[in-house]
């Protein structure tokens, strides 16, 4: 095998001069927490998406919690969510005492499709909310999903943790639904280390989120400390949270945002390589992509070892690791996780596609500036594992 000494991690952050410049501005300003850089980051992010308001927070989980709060979801409410997602999507529903209703997803996209939603609406007519996940960076079919939701009086929150910059029918995710939540966690398509953004066109949702992200205080800290007038005073209008983003994190985000399309293109190149070079292996199912490759954020490249695979997913991961290649799994579905399984008495046969996926899913490395050598090495190792050489 060529290049047998390569070490390739699963994810890698690119930090360049742009981030350093913004960070130095913050260090020089003497103001480290939420202030000018965060405001700038919010404005630039909203402009990028083409949305009216962006509210920066310290994680996508926080954004999802604020979204659930802003929609007034409360104990007794039920919320459709996919089983094939990270626990954040479901846990925020539990934060407010409501209950997730877990749905299966489409095989090879891990998306909730209009057909899946139509069936769910018939089966659970009392559900009034949906948190949809744009899995892996590919948009769900929002046109039809929003239509079904409108007809059935269901409000949508979009979990776009993977989906920046992602488009649906030529428009960025974040322009469609009532509230969209993005993640800037370290391995995401753009990062602030930890961070997130709630995006909306609705002024009252924005105002509520801004207040609740900082203790339920009715004024920004920045505003309180920089006003010319005597201005110590503030009111607490609800029991809020401590979810604000720091200017140091926002500085990294501004630099990353300036490179967002470059990063996306880099990720797309890697996806194209994998499609071209792995499609001859018949025991691997590659992800299905609807629409243009340009519309996809390519946060993940999840493959599935299908029923023809001679080894298990875990053995495959072990062999990749022995060859110096990092991988990950997105996800072990939530219906398999002890808390949700026991609380909601979930059974594997309710989720046939997620089960079939879970038996063989592995995410391959995908991040900007992977080299041709690295990609060829990964392809060689996978071919060798399955006896193709
Ligand atoms: C689908 C999904 N939703 C939400 C989150 C939570 O993001 P954060 O870590 O920024 O809270 C993640 C994180 O990986 C995710 O994958």
Report which ligand 1 atom has the smallest distance to the Cα of 196: 10
Same domain, 219 and 343: no
Report which ligand 1 atom has the smallest distance to the Cα of 330: 16
Residue 232 maps to a domain:
yes
Residue 9 maps to a domain:
no
Q: Evaluate: CB of 196 within 6 angstroms of ligand 1.
A: yes
Q: Evaluate: CB of 105 within 6 angstroms of ligand 1.
A: no
Using the mean position of ligand 1's atoms as its centre, give its distance from the Cα of residue 333 in Å.
14
Question: Does residue 2 have a pLDDT over 60?
Answer: no
Same domain, 127 and 199: yes
Residue 3 maps to a domain:
no
Confidence of residue 232 (pLDDT cuts 50, 70, 90): confident
**Pairing between strand 78-82 and 196-200?**
unpaired
Report which ligand 1 atom has the smallest distance to the Cα of 184: 10
Q: Evaluate: CB of 48 within 6 angstroms of ligand 1.
A: no
Confidence of residue 222 (pLDDT cuts 50, 70, 90): low
Question: Does residue 191 have a pLDDT over 90?
Answer: yes
Residue from 108, 49, 50 nearest 290 by CA: 108
Residue 172 maps to a domain:
yes
Radius of gyration of the chain (CA): 22
Q: Evaluate: CB of 86 within 6 angstroms of ligand 1.
A: yes
Same domain, 97 and 23: yes
Residue 2 maps to a domain:
no
> Average pLDDT in the 23-30 region?
96
Residue from 233, 194, 239, 197 nearest 216 by CA: 239
78 catalytic? Reply is no
Q: What is the pLDDT of residues 111-159, one digit of tens each?
A: 999 999 999 999 999 999 999 999 999 999 999 999 999 999 999 999 9
Using the mean position of ligand 1's atoms as its centre, give its distance from the Cα of residue 255 in Å.
21
Same domain, 203 and 272: no
Residue 141 maps to a domain:
yes
In angstroms, rounded to a whole number, what is the distance separating the alpha carbons of residues 315 and 321? 10
Q: What is the pLDDT of residues 354-385, one digit of tens each?
A: 999 999 999 999 999 999 999 999 999 999 99
Domain-ending residue, one of 259, 289, 318: 259
Confidence of residue 229 (pLDDT cuts 50, 70, 90): low
Domain-ending residue, one of 259, 281, 309: 259
The per-residue pLDDT for 219 is 80
Same domain, 84 and 194: yes
Domain of residue 187, residue span: 17-259
Same domain, 110 and 159: yes
**Any idea which residue has 């409108």 for tokens?**
150
Same domain, 92 and 128: yes
Q: Evaluate: CB of 325 within 6 angstroms of ligand 1.
A: no
Using the mean position of ligand 1's atoms as its centre, give its distance from the Cα of residue 269 in Å.
24
Residue from 133, 182, 157 nearest 333 by CA: 133
Question: Does residue 176 have a pLDDT over 70?
Answer: yes
Domain-ending residue, one of 259, 277, 309: 259
Instruction: Read off the CATH number of the domain in which 324 is found.
Output: 3.90.1150.10
Residue 181 maps to a domain:
yes
Same domain, 108 and 235: yes
Same domain, 98 and 166: yes
| Number of structural domains the chain divides into | 2
Confidence of residue 225 (pLDDT cuts 50, 70, 90): low
Using the mean position of ligand 1's atoms as its centre, give its distance from the Cα of residue 28 in Å.
32
> Average pLDDT in the 186-212 region?
98
The per-residue pLDDT for 389 is 72
Q: Helix (H) and strand (E) counts for the chain? A: 14, 12
In angstroms, rounded to a whole number, what is the distance separating the alpha carbons of residues 249 and 256? 11
Question: Does residue 181 have a pLDDT over 90?
Answer: yes
Same domain, 80 and 61: yes
Same domain, 49 and 166: yes
Averaged pLDDT score across all residues of the chain: 96
Coarse DSSP helix, strand, coil percentages of the chain, rounded to the nearest 5 percent = 40, 15, 45
Q: Evaluate: CB of 209 within 6 angstroms of ligand 1.
A: no
Question: Does residue 230 have a pLDDT over 70?
Answer: no
Residue from 70, 75, 116, 113 nearest 93 by CA: 75
Confidence of residue 101 (pLDDT cuts 50, 70, 90): very high
Residue 148, helix vs strand vs coil: helix
Where would I find the H helices in the chain?
17-29, 36-49, 60-70, 87-95, 114-123, 142-151, 203-212, 221-226, 247-258, 260-278, 313-322, 338-343, 352-358, 372-385
Using the mean position of ligand 1's atoms as its centre, give its distance from the Cα of residue 56 in Å.
15
What percentage of the chain exceeds 90 in pLDDT?
93
Q: Evaluate: CB of 89 within 6 angstroms of ligand 1.
A: yes
The per-residue pLDDT for 221 is 63
> Average pLDDT in the 72-93 region?
98
Q: Of 64, 92, 161, 184, which is best to mutate to test ligand 1, by the most ligand atoms within 8 angstroms of its C-beta? A: 161
Residue 12 maps to a domain:
no
Name the DSSP class of 188. S
Q: Evaluate: CB of 58 within 6 angstroms of ligand 1.
A: no
The per-residue pLDDT for 131 is 98
Angle at 211 between CA 206 and CA 215, to 5 degrees: 150
Report which ligand 1 atom has the smallest distance to the Cα of 133: 1
Residue of higher predicted confidence among 219 and 252: 252
Catalytic residue among 21, 188, 269, 356: 188
Same domain, 189 and 278: no
Q: What is the pLDDT of residues 260-286, one digit of tens each?
A: 999 999 999 999 999 999 999 999 999
Using the mean position of ligand 1's atoms as its centre, give its distance from the Cα of residue 279 in Å.
29
As a residue count, the chain comes to 389
Q: What is the pLDDT of residues 298-320, one digit of tens each?
A: 999 999 999 999 999 999 999 99
Residue 213, helix vs strand vs coil: coil
In angstroms, rounded to a whole number, what is the distance separating the alpha carbons of residues 8 and 324? 6
In angstroms, rounded to a whole number, what is the distance separating the alpha carbons of residues 123 and 99? 16
Residue from 163, 122, 170 nearest 143 by CA: 170
Which residues have a Cβ under 8 Å from the Cβ of 9 and sit 6 or more positions away?
Answer: 326, 365
Query: How many angstroms separate the Cα of 348 from the Cα of each of 35, 83, 84, 108, 345?
Result: 47, 11, 12, 18, 10
Instruction: Read off the CATH number of the domain in which 244 is found.
Output: 3.40.640.10
State the CB neighbour count (10 A cutoff) for residue 16: 11
């Amino acid at each position: 095998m060529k290049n047998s000494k390569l070490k390739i991690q699963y994810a890698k952050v690119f930090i360049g001069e742009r981030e350093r410049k913004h960070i130095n501005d913050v260090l020089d300003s003497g103001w480290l927490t939420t202030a000018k850089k965060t405001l700038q980051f919010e404005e630039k992010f909203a402009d990028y998406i083409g949305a009216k308001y962006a509210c920066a927070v310290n994680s996508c989980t926080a954004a999802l919690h604020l979204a659930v709060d802003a929609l007034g979801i409360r104990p007794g409410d039920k919320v459709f969510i996919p089983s094939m997602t990270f626990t954040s999507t479901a846990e925020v529903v539990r934060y407010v005492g409501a209950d997730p209703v877990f749905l299966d997803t489409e095989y090879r996209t891990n998306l909730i499709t209009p057909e899946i939603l139509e069936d769910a609406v018939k089966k659970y007519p009392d559900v009034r909310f949906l948190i949809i996940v744009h899995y892996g960076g590919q948009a769900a079919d929002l046109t039809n999903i929003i239509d079904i939701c409108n007809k059935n009086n269901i409000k949508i929150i979009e979990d776009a943790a993977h989906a920046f910059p992602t488009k649906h029918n030529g428009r960025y995710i974040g322009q469609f639904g009532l509230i969209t939540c993005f993640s800037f966690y370290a391995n995401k398509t753009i990062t602030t280390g930890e961070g997130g953004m709630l995006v909306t066109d609705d002024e009252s949702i924005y105002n509520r989120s801004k207040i609740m992200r900082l203790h339920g205080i009715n004024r920004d800290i920045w505003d309180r400390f920089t006003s010319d007038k005597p201005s110590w005073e503030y009111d607490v209008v609800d029991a809020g949270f401590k979810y604000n983003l720091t200017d140091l994190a926002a500085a990294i985000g501004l630099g990353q945002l300036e490179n967002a399309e470059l990063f996306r293109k880099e990720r797309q190149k890697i996806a194209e390589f994998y499609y071209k070079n792995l499609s001859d292996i018949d025991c691997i199912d590659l992800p299905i992509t609807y629409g243009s490759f340009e519309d996809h954020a390519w946060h993940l490249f999840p493959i599935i070892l299908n029923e023809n695979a001679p080894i298990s997913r875990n053995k495959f991961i072990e062999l990749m690791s022995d060859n110096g290649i990092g991988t990950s799994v997105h996800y072990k579905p939530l219906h398999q996780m002890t808390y949700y399984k026991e609380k909601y008495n979930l059974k594997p046969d309710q989720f046939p596609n997620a089960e079939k996926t879970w038996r063989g899913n592995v995410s391959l490395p995908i991040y900007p500036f992977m080299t041709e050598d690295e990609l060829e090495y990964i392809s060689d190792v996978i071919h060798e594992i399955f006896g193709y050489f």
